[in-house]
Structure 1
Amino acid sequence: MPLTLRPLLVDAGVDPSQALVIRHAFAQESEESGLTGLHADSTHAEILDYTRNQSTDVRRFPAVPPPLWVVFIREGGDQARLWSVVENRGEIARNGILRTFDLIETEHLSDLRNRLVIGWRSPRTWRMNATTAAEYPVVGISDAEPIPFPGFDRLVLSHTQLQAVMREHRYASWRTALSSVAGIYLITDTSDGRQYVGKADGADSIRQRWSAYATNGHGGNVELRNLQPSNFRFSLLRVFDRASPTRDINAAESHFKTALDSIRHGLNRN
Structure 2
Amino acid sequence: MTIADTVKCAPMRRTAMPLTLTPLLLDAGVDPAQTLVIRHAFVTEPEESGLTGLHADSTHAEILAYTATQSSDSRRFPAMPPRFWAVFIKEGGDQARLWSVVENRGEVARDDIRRTFDISETEHMTDLRGRLVIGWKSPRTWRMSGAAAGAYPVMGIADAEPIPFPGFDRLILSHVQLQAVMREHHYASWRTALSSVVGIYLITDTRDGRHYVGKADGEESVRQRWNAYATNGHGGNIELKKIDPSSFRFSLLRVFDPATPTRDINAAESHFKVALDSVKNGLNRN
Contact in 2 for aligned 1:52/1:103 (Cα 8 Å)? no
Q: What is the alpha-carbon distance in structure 2 between the residues aligned to residue 56 and residue 265 of structure 1? A: 51
- The equivalent residue for 1:55 is 70
Using structure 1 for the length normalisation, give the TM-score: 0.79
Name the count of aligned residue pairs.
266
Distance 1:51 1:262, change over 3 A: farther
Give yes or no for the alignment of 1:116 onto 2:132: yes
Determine the structure 2 residue equivalent to 1:42.
59
Q: Which runs of 5+ in 1 are unaligned?
A: none
How do 1:57-136 and structure 2 match up within 5 A? 57-59=72-74, 60-91=76-107, 93-94=108-109, 99-106=116-123, 108-136=124-152
1:222 aligns with 2:233: no
Distance 1:36 1:222, change over 3 A: farther
Quick one: distance in 2 between partners of 1:193 and 1:47?
32
223 and 105 in structure 1: CA distance in 2 versus 1, 3 angstrom threshold = same
| 3-state secondary structure, aligned to 1:222 | coil
Which of 202, 206, 225 is residue 218 of structure 2 equivalent to? 202
**Aligned-pair CA distance for 1:135:** 2.3
For 2:55 and 2:210, locate their aligned partners in 1 and report how far apart those are by CA, in whole Å.
34
Q: Cα–Cα, structure 1 residues 54 and 77, in superposed 2: closer, same or farther, change >3 Å?
A: same
**C-alpha distance 27-269 of structure 1, shift in aligned 2 (>3 A):** farther
Contact 2:191 2:223 in 1 (8 A): yes
Amino acid in the other structure paired with 2:65: Y
What does 1:169-248 align with in structure 2 at a 5 Å threshold?
169-248=185-264
* More divergent stretch after superposition (172-181 vs 134-143): 134-143
Gaps in structure 2 of 5+ consecutive residues: 1-16
Q: Distance in 1 between matches of 2:247 and 2:104?
A: 16
Counterpart amino acid of 1:53?
Answer: A
Residue equivalent to 1:6? 22
Give the letter aligned to residue 160 of structure 2: A
Instruction: Using the aligned pairs only, state the percent identity.
Output: 68
Question: Please, which moves more after superposition, 52-61 or 169-178?
Answer: 52-61
Deviation at 1:126, TM superposition (A): 3.5
| Cα distance change on mapping 1:19 and 1:182 into 2, 3 Å | same
Q: 1:147 aligns with which of 154, 163, 175?
A: 163
Which region of structure 1 is more displaced relative to structure 2, 31-40 or 130-139?
31-40
Q: Give a deviation string over 1:69-115, Cα, whole Å, max 9, x none.
A: 21223323432122332333444x43756524152513x33443332
User: What residue is the counterpart of 2:13 in the other structure?
Assistant: none
Contact 1:23/1:80 (<8 A) preserved: yes
Call closer, same or farther: CA 1:11–1:205 in 2, change over 3 Å: closer
Root-mean-square deviation (CA, aligned residues, Å) is 3.3
Shift of 1:222: 0.8
SS in structure 1 at match of 2:148: helix
| Corresponding residue SS for 1:225 | helix
In 1, Cα distance between the equivalents of 2:144 and 2:29? 19
Larger radius of gyration: 2
Q: Distance in 2 between matches of 1:191 and 1:52?
A: 30
Distance 2:236 2:165 in 1: 27
TM-score norm. by structure 2 comes to 0.76
